[in-house]
Structure 1
């Protein structure tokens, strides 16, 4: 599957309009091509064979404030939001052109969502990022499910530490990190349901693709 994606990342709050920041089944989002807003099945089937650390490039947003390192064989393209909405979205794709990650920068945004059951599969500090409220965002990979029987959604990106609380009645994941120039949103673009079960998700965590996406997210810096 070749999941080319073009469009603005998840919801922003501008001029009093609010929507949820979501990933893979946690809600809805806007975009010029919603049907293509997903990562290919190869994200699950990626080889578990380990290779040497890849050569890296650095992408810096036009405002010069946020940067990240990514494998040199991958590509980054920028997408502008709808008219009247500030910010820029960077879409990261692998060497086959499959969209893997969205990084949105410079927005006035907010999160909404109900209680979920969450299991955290991985987390790590992000030393180069400090939110405007003084907190340090964290990297996380988690599974969330609602009580309505709609299955499990997998979320991976940067978040506030409160989105990594585990339990059966916690607030749903918020992939917005406040920054001095508005906000940063990060999300790996999983297909639905992403993984058949937690075992498949943990198997993917042993692959190069997972390690490279995690390293990219942890490398994010704010000037």
Structure 2
């Protein structure tokens, strides 16, 4: 289990968008928006196979697990979704995703009627905030030079029809000077290893934007090996499947 949460970039971006829309309201997922997934599709839980040769390595603050991570650009498999998932659909009816059945979703909506922005926070069974998904009209991003090591990336099937660059699930680490920033999120295009710029993660859709980020604390992993070990474990795989399940209709 990862330690206590800190708000990621996506939360700040969503908050900026919501401040333009006025006051908001927090609501919990209800039967009209969250229901058991009767027949999960392959796109909702597509995953890149991790090499079995890597040995498990404990992280400083993340749950370990056996195995390593697939190479960048690995195409997700068509394996069926695991049992025990729920589907959540935003009030706009366009954006949806799947998450473990014993987790919950809380929704914050912007002001106005109807609201033009909303942030879904996904919370695990222990009460830890694991991820946020934002759907709205506006978003902003920042960029700075980094050197990137990519652990995994794969196209998100449910967002394949949206404007380029194509949405990708991505897990990587950006280094700037002596600082390492680990990120698992939706990226606009496949992240490239080596020198580059930080990714804003803004996915453009037919009527707005989507941002989705796993919420890591500062310095969540002691090493890249620990990050790969966490990815191979139950928590890492659940969050990876969540990001790969995001769709727009």
Q: Among residues 160, 166, 169, which one is paired with 2:193 in the alignment?
A: 166
Distance (Å, rounded) in 2 between the aligned partners of 1:221 and 1:101: 16
Distance (Å, rounded) in 1 between the aligned partners of 2:201 and 2:6: 22
1:58 pairs with 2:58: no
When the two structures are superposed, what TM-score results if normalisation uses the length of structure 2? 0.68
- Partners of 1:4 and 1:98 within 8 A in 2: no
- Partners of 1:77 and 1:92 within 8 A in 2: yes
Give the 3 Å change call, closer, same or farther, for CA 110–96 of structure 1 in structure 2.
same
1:75 pairs with 2:104: yes
> How well do the aligned residues superpose, as a CA RMSD in angstroms?
3.0
1:9 pairs with 2:17: no
Distance (Å, rounded) in 1 between the aligned partners of 2:236 and 2:111: 31
Larger Rg: 2
Q: Which residue number in structure 2 is paired with residue 185 of structure 1?
A: 211
Distance (Å, rounded) in 1 between the aligned partners of 2:139 and 2:4: 30
Count of equivalent residues: 191
1:127 pairs with 2:127: no
| 1:48-68 deviation line (CA, Å, top 9, x unaligned) | 379x93411100000000000
Distance (Å, rounded) in 1 between the aligned partners of 2:243 and 2:104: 15
* Runs of 4+ residues over 6 Å off in structure 1: none
Q: Among residues 45, 49, 55, which one is paired with 2:62 in the alignment?
A: 45
Q: Which residue number in structure 1 is paired with residue 184 of structure 2?
A: 156
1:217 pairs with 2:243: yes
| 1:58-89 deviation line (CA, Å, top 9, x unaligned) | 00000000000111001001113489x94100
Unaligned runs of 5+ in 1: 18-41
Q: Which residue number in structure 2 is paired with residue 137 of structure 1?
A: 167
